[in-house]
Amino acid sequence: MRLLCACTTLSLLPAGAAATAATPTIEAVTPKEEAKDEAKAEKLDPAEMMAGMMVLFDRFFPAGPEPEPARLALARDATMAMFPKGTYAAGVGSFMEGMVDRVLDMSEADLAAMGPAAKLKKGEAAKVPSKLPLRAELAKKDLQFDAKVAAGKAFARTMFAKVGDVAEPRFREGMARTLARRFDARQLAEIQAFLATPTGAAYGRQMVGLWFEPEIMRSTFQAFPDIMKLMPELMKEGEAFDRAMKDKGKPAAGKK
Judge contact between 218 and 99, C-beta under 8 A. no
Single-letter residue type at 181: R
The span from the CA of 203 to the CA of 193, in Å, is 13
Q: Domain limits of the chain?
A: 65-107+131-212
Ramachandran angles phi, psi of 76, nearest 5°? -65, -40
In sequence order, what DSSP letters do the residues of 108-124 get, joined into one string? Answer: HHHHHHHSPPPPPPTTP
Question: pLDDT tens digits for the chain (256 residues)?
Answer: 443 444 443 333 333 333 333 333 334 455 555 556 555 555 678 888 888 888 888 888 888 888 999 999 999 999 988 888 888 888 888 889 989 999 999 998 888 888 777 676 776 777 788 899 999 999 999 999 999 999 999 999 999 999 999 999 999 999 999 999 999 999 999 999 999 999 998 888 888 778 878 888 889 889 999 999 999 999 999 999 998 888 876 776 666 5
Q: How many CB atoms lie within 10 A of CB 227?
A: 9
| Interatomic CA distance for residues 135 and 102, integer angstroms | 10
Query: Considering only CA atoms, which of 64, 71, 68 is closest in space to residue 187?
Result: 71
Residues 130 and 109: beta-carbon distance below 8 Å? yes
- Residue 83's pLDDT is 86
Q: What is the pTM of this model?
A: 0.62
* Residue-level pLDDT at 255: 60
131 secondary structure, DSSP code: -
DSSP one-letter string for 37-54: HHHHHHHT-HHHHHHHHH
Residue 133 pLDDT: 93
